[in-house]
A and B are shown apart, each in its own frame.
Chain A
């Protein structure tokens, strides 16, 4: 499937900002069944310094710095991506216990080695309750693929999707206690659960192709960036996406921008701005299939 992606993201500052530095992780990344046919980025006001690099995990990072006064920052990213992804047979995956053992024994520190995705990370601390929650729906002999999908579906069924209850700094324990939140919270809870079982789990951020209700036209800009989980299903199968917000395997409509240990590693837009007062940010995504 080929999709066109458009992301518009920006901030209005309450008072003019003298200088600002930002990192963006918004371009779709290659690999995992994706190939990027074109991508462009427009930043307003025009940065004084700008560069593109690849981070530790292989994500594309755009770095820029604006050194004149501005009271608004707006960014537009456009990309065309081809995705080809076939769902693995989850029943064929190794049992949970064996995958955990293989991960623990890894002697690899390369970017996507399972070793990086175990234990607590900055934004995902292991929480005994969450570990117990995940353990209750799994067992050491269950296929790791089934265990992951079960956990994703359980979260989908038992948690309420609701904006405004959590923010980007909400920790796993709080989101778990609330049993509600947004895709970022669900992904963090699922990651904490899997890691609690000794399974490597990563955070994926990116874009989701959504279908308009039958018979209705697509409305522009109603979607936001999405987040889900990549789980390591053993050396044979490797990394597979699970979406706890929708309780499904990540399919061809899940387009990865970046992968990291958690949100803190790969926030789509990270910035250092000196300003006072409340900022107003906006954020709109369109993913349109090309046929």
Chain B
């Protein structure tokens, strides 16, 4: 099995199921032409080389932090899975793709007109082409927006179509995605990762680039704003959604502001983003949030992720949503049962792409047919799920033993919620599994966007391969993989990328008004990272002295008290408490991925992992090693922030959080260590905590004294770990925040901070006692309150923050 082999060796064990269509191999066993260069390239590599190439792609995915979230897990650490990318890609030849493309564009036009009819004058229903219940009983028919098509503007501009290829080699439409089609961002990531593994092969095969598609789509979005400086938001359900990573990625990639419902204020006068500069209008939103959740006032009242008044803003024509609220009705399976007649009415021609055969059980004869043939059909919900019922019925396949729902045999009125669908046998695609190519069933999701002159298709897509060889069930949540999709071309592709310079207008657009929620998260990120560091340092102090002094020593007890206040127990697996702090930091960072470099996020994720991987009940030495490694990671994070983060408003919030937290912790520690009669070693401990031993030696020729230590660790404005330094920096950060400068009289926030800074700068070491230090701590927390009230009071959710007292 070593050494590069022949094509025969590569394909030796490859046996697609008889009677099916294999993407790579013809029935006779020869490799299809479009796959030929890929198969040749693969067979020229030995297994070690292939493994090394896969590893390169894997490293990219890990470093970019590509993951998706699985619903239902309790532990946030376990909910996120590394993106399951398999190889090689699905290859589609130029000619085949051109034919498919024509069918897809035609379908998009059909869907656009269908939606315009459903939210317009309802001719399809009036003329008896479409039964009224398919609209009227549909949870995605949003009555507050009935008639919204009257403006004549397209209600959809970005859709996906799911395809499968049947045994005859024809592509079939399995379903349409118009609500908030996911996967386009993952398709991009798959492409970047696959290029790490097979860049040479893809160049040789002239694989079509994806960037051009996104560029056109982005231009479309910005043109919709109707102004050269207009902004576009990407409206996400938030970090708890399974595709949040993709939303953040696409927002960053396209230069959109990532927004949650709580970031917006909406009403008949329009939609605005709550930013630290005040409310800023936003005319266009790329909606990735299910419509029913978008406005608790007029739609699903239990939604906590929407914006009250959004529907009113849409009706008043003050905001454009891409896609329109209510476009999810196109995902209705029952619509698939009426395609031919609807196409004839709406297009005047037949659809080029066949649609999976579907029978709606709301009609007597169709219901009889489904009943009679239910062993050979899949039963599925006719309508999209109602909100709050996402876990409702998934398609039932007879062979898996799912019981036929009662309602199929009950009154017609209930059977109307079901369709019978032909069970499609999917084509197979080769993917490597344990070093061998194996045929796996595949579905392909393709993306279309609508520009001013019509629809265009992304040359590629998002392919999912099933883990089992059952050709019917493909679900990512059930553990499938995805693969890149290569559309080959006979022409040299033109270089386009959004990751580089791109359009100049976007380079200038950048310093955006910072949404209050992002500012809030950045501020807390600064605080949590600093808190993690503070607690780690304290623990290290204790660990270094515990052996020598013994657990009962007064100094150890005082440190133990301090740690207890931060939820860390000295005697009882201290790592558990530490982990909570690291997790708070990385969870906060993951909420603002769009504003944060992947490196920074990764460092924090590694930090959390470091702790999670350590065995319970660490010995002193192992604990010290762990703490040392943590401090290295934390220094790495600080370095990244310092070196890589552009000095916009967001950075100031993060820095304000760090300095405020460091000042609070340092003052608090000094107060506890030095109160009353300080125990032996307290001064050294304080010096060590503030990392000031060397400085002390150089600064003061005298031995340690209370005065010299307090002077250096608390009051020295040049020592970056002194409390005074934190107050000074904090003041500097706050002065540059929006709305604090420029005025004749400084506002309360600045005044308070300035007073604290002056007090610390001018104090004599002799007056620094417990009361002085406690007062400084109290000032820091009062400043935090003022800051929060000023910038974040309207921010999303008003999340509970764990505050250590």
Contact = CB atoms under 8 A, between A and B. Distances in A.
B402 interface: no
A108 B124 CA distance: 10
Contacts of A204: none
A274 B135 CA distance: 34
Interface string A10-25: 0000000011011100
A270 B301 contact: yes
A138 to B, nearest CB: 12
Contacts of A120: 137, 386, 417
A157 B793 CA distance: 52
A21 B308 contact: yes
B126 A49 contact: no
Interface in B108-129: 122, 125-128
Contact of B132 (A51, A56, A108): A108
Contacts of A122: 139, 300, 386-387
Nearest to B147: A56
Contacts of B422: none
B417 A119 contact: yes
A241 to B, nearest CB: 21
A21 B143 contact: no
B410 A128 contact: yes
Contact of B312 (A63, A118, A196, A272): A63
Q: How large is the interface on B (under 10, 10 to 19, 20 to 34, 35 or more residues)?
A: 35 or more
A76 interface: no
A87 B101 CA distance: 62
B794 A19 contact: yes
Contact of A18 (B127, B143, B144, B793): B793
Contacts of B144: 55-56
B301 A198 contact: no
Interface residues of A, number: 39
A126 B412 CA distance: 12
B348 interface: no
A203 to B, nearest CB: 14
A107 interface: yes
A4 to B, nearest CB: 30
B219 interface: no
Nearest to A119: B137
A65 B267 contact: yes
B132 A113 contact: yes
Nearest to B295: A272
Interface string A123-137: 000101001000000
Nearest to A55: B144
A278 B387 CA distance: 25
B416 A119 contact: yes
Contact of A107 (B125, B414, B416, B794): B125
A18 B136 CA distance: 38
B434 to A, nearest CB: 48
Contacts, number: 96
A264 interface: yes
Contacts of A113: 132, 136
Nearest to A67: B265
A115 interface: yes
Contacts of B309: 21, 65
A198 B133 CA distance: 12
B298 interface: yes
A56 B146 contact: yes
Contact of A272 (B127, B136, B297): B297
A222 interface: no
B297 A23 contact: yes
Given A104-B412, A109-B125, A118 B386 contact: no
A160 interface: no
Contact of A126 (B300, B386, B414): B414
A195 B594 CA distance: 48
Given A107-B128, A118-B136, A270-B297, A198 B268 contact: no
B413 interface: yes
Contacts of A104: 133, 412-413
Interface of A: 18-19, 21-23, 49, 51, 55-57, 63, 65, 100, 104, 106-109, 113, 115-116, 118-120, 122, 126, 128, 131, 195-198, 264-265, 267, 270-272, 274
Q: Nearest 9 pairs between A and B by C-beta?
A: A56-B143, A21-B308, A272-B308, A115-B132, A115-B136, A119-B137, A109-B122, A198-B413, A116-B136
